[in-house]
Structure 1
C-alpha cells in the first residue's frame, strides 16, 4: 500500500518522466530524504538556503508524461548497470520509484496521433490537475527534462511539443521550468500568458558541464584583458541525448545556449564551433573538449585546453531538484513571470548576468528574497 500523502506536499511533474534525468532525480530525492546518501550537488541544501522556506525533499511527490513505457524501477536498474546509480540504490528506493511510475501518463504527440493541439493541451492539463488533486498537493511544478527538439521554423503551422506541455502547465495553473534547449514557454504568447496568470517560470537549457566551465573561464579572460581569438569544442555522448542531438536541427538548438555564454561574457562571438557526436556505447556518460586560442601581452599566442568527463544525469538531477524547490517556493511567495535570479542553472537564462560567480550572487539574493517573503 502506498504511503498516504500529506496535505501541503509539492508535486513535481516531469515531461520526459521515464528518462535518465527524471529517474535519477526521483531515486536521488528518495535516497537523500532517507539519509542513504548526502545531498552532493544540491545547492539548495547548503547553508545560505536554510531560511528560504523551501519545501523539504520528503514533501516532493513525482509524476509526469512520457511516450516511453519502461517502468521507473526497470529504468533505475538500467542506470545502475550503466554506472549512473550506485549498486543497491534501485532496490532501496523501489517503493518511491513505483509510486512515481503509477503517476506517469502517456505523452505525445507520437506517430499517428490525430489529436489537435488544443486536445493535446487539454489532455496534458487534465493529467496534471488530476495528479495535484488526488494527492492533495499545495502546488505542482512542471519541469521539462525531455530530449532536445529542433527549433520550429517561423512558418511551422504547429507549435513545438515542448510548447504544448508549457501551455498545459499554464492551463493547469502550474509554474514551469524548461531544463532543455527546446522552445517551451519561449513564445511571446506563452510568456505573456504566464505573467498574466501570475505564474513563475524559468529556463532555458540546464547548465551541467561544458557550458558551466565556459561560464567560469570566459570571465577570467575578460577580467585579465586577454583577447580570445577562437573557442572550439567537441562533445562525445550517447544515450537518448546523443541520439536526439544527432539531428543537426536539434544540435543547433543545443549549441545556441553554449555560444550565448561566450558572446554575453566576451562581448563578441569568437571563431569556432561546438561539434556534437553521438557515440551510443557511452550511454549517459559524456566527454567534452574545449580549445581556447587567445592573445597575451605583445601579441604572444597561447592556448588553453580542457577536458570534462561526467555523467549528465547525475549532474542534472540535483539541479532539477533545486529548481523544483525554488520555483515552488517562488510560486508560494507570489512571484510571477520569468525568474532571472535562477540564471545560475541555465545556459540561456531569463536575463541577468552570464558569469557563474555573478549568477551565484544573484541566486543568493533570490534565496534571501524568498526568505523575506515568509
Structure 2
C-alpha cells in the first residue's frame, strides 16, 4: 500500500449514530487513536493483521443518520453515568464527538416520514455523497447499528432497507450489525449483486451467541447429545425496549438459534427469552441452561452466565468491520466478503463454528495483505 493510500481518509457512516453502540464506537475510536486507551476487543489490532492495509483509526471520519436529537457529547456523558465509558473521556475527545455530531443527519422511517420510499432513499443517498465529498473521503462505509426492527411483511422496505438501498445508490460498502432486514430484503438482492460493492452481515455476535458458538462445537465434536438448550436475556436501554416487540424479538432470536442448528445439525428443544429490565440500562445478563446426555444415558447439565455491556462489546467489532470493508473495497472485493462470518450470528457466507470462522478470517487477512 502506498504512503498516499495510507493517508487517505475513510468515512464511517453509522445508522443509529447517537445510540449507545454508535456513541461508544465514535468515542472509543477517538480514545484509541489518541493513545488514551488500548484497543481491547479490536481483532484488527491483533498480531494477525499488520500489513493488511487497513485504514488507520486516526484517519476514520464519522457521521450518520439518526432520528434522535440528543448531541453525541451529551450521549457520551450519559454513558459515563451508566458505567459504560470512563470518567473524563468525553471531555478528552470532545472535539471528535462534536465533529461527528455535526455530520449526523436526520433519519426517517416509512411510517413516521411523509416522504415516500423513493424520496427517502434518494435523500439518504444524497446525505452520504455530501458527507464523502465535503470531508474529502476516499470512500464511506455504512454500518447499521440501529435498534432491531421486526421482519418485513410484504414488499415495502423497512427503515433498515431504505438505508441499505441508499448505501448501494451512493456506492458505499455496507455492514448490517443488526438482525434487521437491511440488504437482505428480497427487492435489494439484485441491486446488491449489480453494485459490485462489498458487504457483510448480519447481527453482530457479541455475547451470549459468541459463547454458544464456542460451546456447541464442543458438544458436537465430543459426540455428546444435547437434549435441550434454553436461555434468558435480561437487558435494558434501547435494545431492551425495542425487543419487547414480538416481531423484533423473533428476528433477534433467529440468529441465536441458527448458531445451534448449524453446529448441532438440528435445533434442540428449549426457548430463548428476552426480558426488558430498564434498571439495567446498557448492561446485560445472559443465562443458558444446556441439558445433554453422556455415556450410557447419564443425564448432565451445563449452565453459563454472561454479564457485560453490549455497547462495549460491539464497538470494537464495528470498528473492525468498517476497516475491513473499506480495505475490501480498495482491494476490489465484491458481494458478501468471505471470512467475516466470525463477527455475525447469521453470516452471509462461510462456516458456522467459531474456530472455522476464525481460520476464514485469517485467510481474508492473508488475501488483503497480498493485495496491499
* TM-score (normalizing by structure 1): 0.97
Query: Which residue of 1 is the match for residue 216 of structure 2?
Result: 218
In 1, Cα distance between the equivalents of 2:110 and 2:258? 32
Query: Which residue of 1 is the match for residue 370 of structure 2?
Result: 372
In 1, Cα distance between the equivalents of 2:77 and 2:50? 33
Query: Is residue 10–residue 59 contact of structure 1 (8 Å, CA) maintained in 2?
Result: yes
**What whole-Å deviation, never above 9, does each CA across 1:213-266 have from its counterpart, x for those lacking one?**
000000000000000000000000000000000001100000000000000000
* TM-score (normalizing by structure 2): 0.97
Query: Which residue of 1 is the match for residue 93 of structure 2?
Result: 93
Counterparts of 1:320-339 in structure 2, within 5 Å, are 320-339=318-337
Counterparts of 1:38-187 in structure 2, within 5 Å, are 38-109=38-109, 112-153=112-153, 156-187=154-185
In 1, Cα distance between the equivalents of 2:348 and 2:288? 26
- RMSD over aligned Cα atoms: 1.1
Q: Residue 112 of structure 1: CA displacement?
A: 4.3
Query: Which residue of 1 is the match for residue 356 of structure 2?
Result: 358
Q: Residue 165 of structure 1: CA displacement?
A: 0.3
Q: Residue 157 of structure 1: CA displacement?
A: 4.4
Query: Is residue 163–residue 184 contact of structure 1 (8 Å, CA) maintained in 2?
Result: yes
Q: Secondary structure at the match of 1:313?
A: helix
Shift in CA distance, 304/189, structure 1 to aligned 2, threshold 3 Å? same
- Structure 2 gaps of 5+ residues are 1-5
Q: Residue 329 of structure 1: CA displacement?
A: 0.1
Shift in CA distance, 177/112, structure 1 to aligned 2, threshold 3 Å? closer
Q: Secondary structure at the match of 1:61?
A: strand
In 2, Cα distance between the equivalents of 1:362 and 1:189? 29
Query: Is residue 239–residue 284 contact of structure 1 (8 Å, CA) maintained in 2?
Result: yes
Q: Residue 191 of structure 1: CA displacement?
A: 2.7
In 2, Cα distance between the equivalents of 1:340 and 1:311? 28
Query: Which residue of 2 is the match for residue 238 of structure 1?
Result: 236
Query: Is residue 110–residue 158 contact of structure 2 (8 Å, CA) maintained in 1?
Result: no
* Higher mean displacement: 181-190 or 260-269: 181-190
**What whole-Å deviation, never above 9, does each CA across 1:141-181 have from its counterpart, x for those lacking one?**
0000000000012xx24211100000000000000000000
Query: Is residue 343–residue 349 contact of structure 1 (8 Å, CA) maintained in 2?
Result: yes
Q: Secondary structure at the match of 2:48?
A: helix
Query: Is residue 217–residue 263 contact of structure 2 (8 Å, CA) maintained in 1?
Result: yes
Q: Which runs of 4+ in 1 moved over 4 A?
A: none
Q: Residue 111 of structure 1: CA displacement?
A: 5.5
Query: Which residue of 1 is the match for residue 287 of structure 2?
Result: 289
* Higher mean displacement: 188-197 or 74-83: 188-197
Query: Is residue 205–residue 344 contact of structure 2 (8 Å, CA) maintained in 1?
Result: yes
Query: Is residue 155–residue 187 contact of structure 2 (8 Å, CA) maintained in 1?
Result: no
In 2, Cα distance between the equivalents of 1:95 and 1:205? 31
In 2, Cα distance between the equivalents of 1:337 and 1:110? 27
Q: Residue 280 of structure 1: CA displacement?
A: 0.4
Query: Is residue 7–residue 138 contact of structure 1 (8 Å, CA) maintained in 2?
Result: no
Query: Which residue of 2 is the match for residue 30 of structure 1?
Result: 30
**Aligned positions, number:** 367
Q: Does 1:340 align with 2:323?
A: no
In 2, Cα distance between the equivalents of 1:110 and 1:77? 31
- Structure 1 gaps of 5+ residues are 1-5
Q: Secondary structure at the match of 2:40?
A: coil
In 2, Cα distance between the equivalents of 1:112 and 1:372? 47
Query: Is residue 110–residue 159 contact of structure 2 (8 Å, CA) maintained in 1?
Result: no
Query: Is residue 110–residue 117 contact of structure 2 (8 Å, CA) maintained in 1?
Result: no
* Higher mean displacement: 167-176 or 189-198: 189-198
In 1, Cα distance between the equivalents of 2:133 and 2:317? 26
Q: Residue 100 of structure 1: CA displacement?
A: 0.1
